[in-house]
């Protein structure tokens, strides 16, 4: 078991409805030792990939992206979310349904911050249905850039996001992949 | 002129209505070299202060808090914003009016992540009217903690937030304090 799986088992809380709360080290309180390890692990897994820019989405993704960037020294861009955003205002805009907030969000990046031919590494804290990551991919493609990899801390392997991205041919690296969670027994099984 | 003032002069855009956009290195795209310098400068300015926890507010504050924490090795907590939040759900809640979004936001921190007697360093990217920082102070006090300092990247010195916090006796350190901005001439004067 790797450091993140160990941490999830010790600190994660399973809630009814297939929800994993890791608020105490990643999504609300941040344990910098874990963030450092996540960043080092992602850098290592993408060691053979040239990266011009790191793209994430507010808010929790920013901590991972910042620490990863401390190792890469390229610009980070964090996409913003709002209930409404139009593309007339010099933005690349895509849509993502948030299961957490039960609403469709616009996700956007101001045009100056993504450029044609840039090799973009997308990072985020969670991957479930893949709505946010697909919106980020769409935005990179609108800008004419290339998605060279997707680095995720925790993938909920029971949901379809990871499978779809792999089928689409993206290089996806998730540090912990949850295969099964049992709310009543409070047990988690990770993918080998 | 310090590194941040220089960067603001070279990259900041003054918009009508006393708005300073520094989207290309702090609020949307992140220049990690500047974030590192901000973190080092804040650490240095608070070198004589014992800190148990760093508190910020989503979203842009997270990058600064993460990098600062890389130097401190204490937990970071980022307060969350929502249009509605109630305190029955195990949260410390306060209110802050957002001039950017023209709405009153609830700001909250889950109770387990702030504890009595903790010495809390508050950090944020911008200080203008001080609504967000006052909400964070309120939350620390609700938890029974102590605010040992407030570290800010950019203070808009023409607005009242900084003056109020200093009058209230808080130790406030802002790396760049804008004394005056002129939209038509696109000039900025910093406080000495």
Residue A112 at interface with chain B, using a CB cutoff of 8 Å: yes
DSSP string, B147-173: EEEEEEEEEETTSSHHHHHHHTT--EE
Q: Residue range A9-16: average pLDDT?
A: 93
| pLDDT at res. A52 | 98
CB contacts, 8 Å: A66 with chain B: 30, 32, 35, 62-63, 66-67
| pLDDT at res. B3 | 98
* Nearest CB to A69 within list B32, B59, B78: B32
| pLDDT at res. A102 | 79
Alpha helices in chain A (DSSP H): 3-11, 32-45, 61-72, 131-142, 161-167
Q: Burial level of A185, CB count in 10 A (0-12/13-18/19+)?
A: exposed
Residue A87 has pLDDT above 80, yes or no: no
Share of chain B above pLDDT 70, in %: 96
> Model confidence over A21-36: pLDDT tens digits?
999 999 999 999 999 9
Q: Residue range A31-52: average pLDDT?
A: 98
Smallest Cα–Cα separation from A11: which of A184, A188, A190? A188
Residue B29 host element (H or E)? strand B29-30
Listed in sequence order, the residues at least 6 apart from B9 whose beta carbon sits closer than 8 Å to its beta carbon are: B1, B188
- Does residue A47 or residue B81 have the better pLDDT? A47
Inter-chain CB proximity B66 and A32 less than 8 Å: yes
Q: Measured in whole angstroms, how far is the alpha carbon of residue B34 from the centre of its chain?
A: 15
Nearest CA in chain B to A35: B66
Place of tokens 């950019």: B154
The encoded tokens of residue B104 equal 């009153």
Inter-chain CB proximity A70 and B31 less than 8 Å: no
Listed in sequence order, the residues at least 6 apart from B126 whose beta carbon sits closer than 8 Å to its beta carbon are: B60, B152, B153, B154, B155, B156
> Model confidence over A132-167: pLDDT tens digits?
999 999 999 999 999 999 999 999 999 999 999 999
Residue A114 has pLDDT above 60, yes or no: yes
Q: Residue range A85-91: average pLDDT?
A: 71
């Amino acid at each position: 078991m790797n450091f993140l799986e160990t941490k999830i088992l010790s600190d994660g809380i399973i809630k009814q409805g297939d929800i994993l709360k890791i608020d105490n080290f990643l999504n609300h309180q941040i344990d910098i030792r874990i963030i450092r390890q996540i960043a080092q692990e992602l850098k290592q897994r993408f060691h053979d990939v040239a990266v011009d820019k790191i793209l994430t989405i507010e808010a929790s993704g920013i901590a991972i992206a910042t620490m990863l960037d401390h190792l890469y020294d390229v610009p980070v861009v964090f996409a913003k979310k709002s209930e409404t955003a139009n593309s007339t205002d010099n933005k690349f805009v895509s849509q993502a349904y948030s299961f957490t907030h039960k609403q469709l969000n616009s996700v956007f990046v101001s045009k100056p911050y993504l450029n044609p031919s840039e090799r973009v590494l997308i990072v985020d804290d969670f991957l479930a249905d893949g709505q946010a990551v697909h919106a980020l991919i769409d935005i990179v493609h609108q800008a004419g850039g290339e998605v060279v990899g997707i680095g995720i801390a925790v993938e909920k392997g029971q949901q379809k996001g990871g499978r779809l991205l792999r089928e689409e041919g993206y290089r996806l690296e998730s540090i912990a992949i949850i295969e099964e969670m049992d709310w009543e027994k409070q047990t988690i099984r990770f993918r080998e």
